[in-house]
Amino acid sequence: MLRVADVLRGKGGAVFGIAPEDPVLEAIRLMAERHVGALLVLQGDELKGIVSERDYARKVVLLGRSSAETPVWQIMSSPVITVGRGDSVHACLELMTRHRIRHLPVVDGGAVVGVLSIGDLVKAVIETQRQQIEDLERFIHS
């Protein structure tokens, strides 16, 4: 069974974050620069929330707020749903579907060790299925 740790090994554990008091404009700039759809909101090492492009669209743009003047904490999603290294990829996908979220921070011993996007998980499932099909085809032909 494919686990979070397996996906993180292939992806790496890069964690991009922003402070709660930073302006939303800085969060959007960092997301664009890092090519990610969400940032963890961190106060030191403590996970306070998560802010996504969706939060920006719904809580800043649609409400006519100022990106430069609105602090991240005012639009972040909190509390954050997290997973551990031992959780299955299928359990993660179920969580994301049930809660309509696209990013899951991975926490180990209270520390954030990575973030998985729905794209990361779908890619891992597809790769695992591709490998299983190849193995079955080799078995059938041998």
List, in order, residues 6 or more apart from 140 with CB less than 8 Å away: none
Query: The pTM is what?
Result: 0.88
3-class DSSP assignment, residue 133: helix
H or E stretch covering 106: strand 103-108
The reported pLDDT for the residue numbered 19 is 98
Q: What is the per-residue pLDDT for 128?
A: 87
Block means of pLDDT (10 residues each) for the chain, 142 residues, are 94 92 98 96 95 94 92 96 97 97 95 95 92 88 84
- Domains with residue ranges and CATH for the chain: 4-141 (3.10.580.10)
pLDDT of residue 82: 97
* Token duo for residue 32: 């664009």
